[in-house]
């Protein structure tokens, strides 16, 4: 029976890049069926809410979710804030679907090394940021304005089980990579970070083949620029992971190149996940056939790997993307003199031709 994929194209360039990703999944012959639904600003315009009940229901009965992007300046001032696309769609999706483990690989393709802001081979990185996605300061209560708006309060809270489960996912991924985990916190200042560090140390005892190191978040941000090759798998809390994963992505040369997966707990050997590029909706180029679809295409490879265990087909997609880049195809965000400038659909065509 085919796996059902919920396609939430979203706003801005989301529909363009997801369309190419679906074409790639069809080209590799994956046993999938697709059903689309509204999410984000377009959903707010159509229904008055960025995450309509029917969209959430589709996600809950699907086997995986492919998301494009949500939000844009058009909805930046929607009131209440809870109805803005990023707050009213992304956060509830993560909570309702128990998507607590955000996996963000940052890998430089050799063909794009010249686009890295780091000099020489320092820009050739291959690391994974594991970000806890459903706890911390983004979800803690109270979260409010007080004293007629003159005082704002956000609460950072973590429990030991929350830390344990993301740590275990990090160690499991490291076992299939270079067997090194760096746990990033602010244990010299924050009580939640002290709990984080103590808990990760406890989990590490179950993975004796994986080396564990600890690093304060400010030092980690510096080391990303100074020597990013030292990292294999980084595990960290929600806000730190949000910041560090974006920093790591820039080292590879373009936000338009990096995929991500947000995963739930395994259930009967299967992992439910939401797969999306890490870039935003880029409304300034929406509808112009200029967006880079490769991050979304690579997200489908992660889907095949993590949700369906199809490592071979996932590898085919990754190799097709790399071969396309080696042949010189470039969208505007990664274009350099001497390469071939193409549009969104043409980049999808080139990857499919490789497949």
Residue 142 tokens read as 């109270």
Indicate whether 249 pLDDT > 70: yes
* Residues forming a β-bridge with 33: 4
Helices 294-306, 14-27: crossing angle, 10 deg rounding: 50
Rounded-to-integer distance, Cα 294 and Cα 16, Å: 11
Domains of the chain: 1-102+254-355 (3.40.718.10), 117-251 (3.40.718.10)
Residue with the bigger pLDDT between 204 and 336: it is 204
Residue 93 tokens read as 């999706």
Question: 121 falls in which pLDDT band (50, 70, 90)?
Answer: confident
pLDDT at residue 57 in the model: 96
Rounded-to-integer distance, Cα 219 and Cα 225, Å: 10
Indicate whether 331 pLDDT > 90: yes
Active-site annotation, residues: 138, 186, 218, 242, 246
pLDDT at residue 116 in the model: 87
**Which residue shows structure tokens 């009940």?**
53
Indicate whether 235 pLDDT > 60: yes
Averaged pLDDT for residues 171-191? 97
Indicate whether 6 pLDDT > 70: yes
pLDDT tens per residue, range 255-280: 778 999 999 987 656 679 999 998 89
Q: What is the CA radius of gyration of the chain?
A: 20
Rounded-to-integer distance, Cα 228 and Cα 221, Å: 10
Mean pLDDT, the chain, whole residue set? 94
pLDDT at residue 268 in the model: 55
pLDDT at residue 269 in the model: 60
Residue 126 tokens read as 């291959």
SS3 (DSSP) at 234 = strand
Which strands make up the sheet holding 233-236, listed edge to edge? Answer: 32-36, 3-10, 64-69, 270-277, 259-267, 101-107, 126-132, 233-236, 180-185, 211-216
The residues, ordered by sequence, that sit 6+ positions from 85 with a Cβ below 8 Å of its Cβ are 10, 11, 39, 40, 41, 43, 44, 50, 70, 71, 72, 75
pLDDT at residue 321 in the model: 97
pLDDT tens per residue, range 294-326: 999 999 999 999 999 999 999 999 999 999 999
CB 50 within 8 A of CB 84: yes
Averaged pLDDT for residues 97-126? 91
Question: 82 falls in which pLDDT band (50, 70, 90)?
Answer: very high
Phi, psi of 211 (to 5 degrees): -80, 135
Averaged pLDDT for residues 321-347? 95
Question: 91 falls in which pLDDT band (50, 70, 90)?
Answer: confident
Smallest CA-to-CA distance from 182 within 206, 209, 204, 158 is with: 204
Indicate whether 177 pLDDT > 80: yes
Phi, psi of 12 (to 5 degrees): 55, -125
The residues, ordered by sequence, that sit 6+ positions from 197 with a Cβ below 8 Å of its Cβ are 183, 185, 187, 214
pLDDT at residue 102 in the model: 95
Rounded-to-integer distance, Cα 347 and Cα 233, Å: 30
* Residues forming a β-bridge with 19: none
CB 94 within 8 A of CB 125: no
Residue with the bigger pLDDT between 271 and 54: it is 54
Residue 67 tokens read as 């998301």
pTM of the model: 0.90
DSSP for 176-226 reads: TTTSEEEEEE-TTT-HHHHHHHHHHHHHHTT-TTSEEEEEEHHHHHHHHHH
Distances (CA, A) of 144 to 7, 136, 225: 33, 15, 35
Averaged pLDDT for residues 175-192? 97
Residue 353 tokens read as 């031709």
Smallest CA-to-CA distance from 319 within 351, 283, 271 is with: 351
């Amino acid at each position: 029976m085919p796996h059902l994929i919920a396609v939430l194209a979203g706003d801005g360039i989301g529909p363009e890049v997801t369309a190419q990703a679906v074409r790639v999944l069809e080209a590799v012959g994956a046993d999938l069926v697709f059903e689309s639904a509204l999410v984000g600003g377009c959903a707010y315009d159509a229904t008055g809410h960025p995450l309509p009940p029917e969209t959430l229901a589709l996600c809950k009965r699907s086997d995986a979710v492919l998301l494009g992007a949500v939000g844009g300046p058009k909805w930046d001032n929607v009131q209440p804030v809870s109805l803005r696309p990023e707050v009213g769609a992304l956060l509830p999706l993560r909570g309702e679907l128990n998507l607590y483990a955000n996996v963000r690989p940052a890998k430089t393709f050799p063909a794009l090394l010249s686009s890295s802001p780091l000099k020489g081979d320092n820009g050739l990185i291959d690391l994974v940021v594991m970000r806890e996605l459903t706890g911390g300061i983004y979800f803690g209560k109270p979260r409010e304005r007080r004293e007629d708006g003159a005082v704002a309060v956000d609460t950072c809270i973590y429990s030991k089980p929350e830390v344990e489960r993301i740590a275990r996912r990090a160690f499991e991924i490291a076992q299939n990579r270079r067997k090194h985990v760096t746990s990033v916190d602010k244990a010299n200042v924050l009580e939640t970070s002290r709990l984080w560090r103590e808990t990760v140390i406890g989990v590490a005892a179950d993975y004796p083949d994986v080396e564990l190191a600890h690093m304060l978040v400010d030092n980690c941000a510096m080391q990303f620029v100074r020597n990013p090759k030292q990292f294999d798998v980084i595990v960290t809390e929600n806000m730190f992971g949000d910041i560090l994963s974006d920093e790591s992505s820039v080292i590879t040369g373009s936000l338009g190149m990096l995929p991500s997966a947000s995963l739930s707990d395994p259930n009967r050997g299967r992992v439910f996940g939401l797969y999306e590029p890490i870039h935003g909706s880029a409304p300034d180029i929406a509808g112009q056939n200029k967006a880079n679809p490769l991050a979304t295409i690579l997200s489908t490879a992660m889907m095949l790997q993590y949700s369906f265990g199809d490592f071979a087909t996932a590898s085919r997609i990754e190799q097709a993307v790399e071969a396309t880049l080696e042949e010189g195809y470039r969208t505007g965000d990664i274009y350099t003199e001497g390469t071939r400038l193409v549009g969104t659909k043409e980049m999808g065509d080139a990857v499919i031709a490789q497949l």
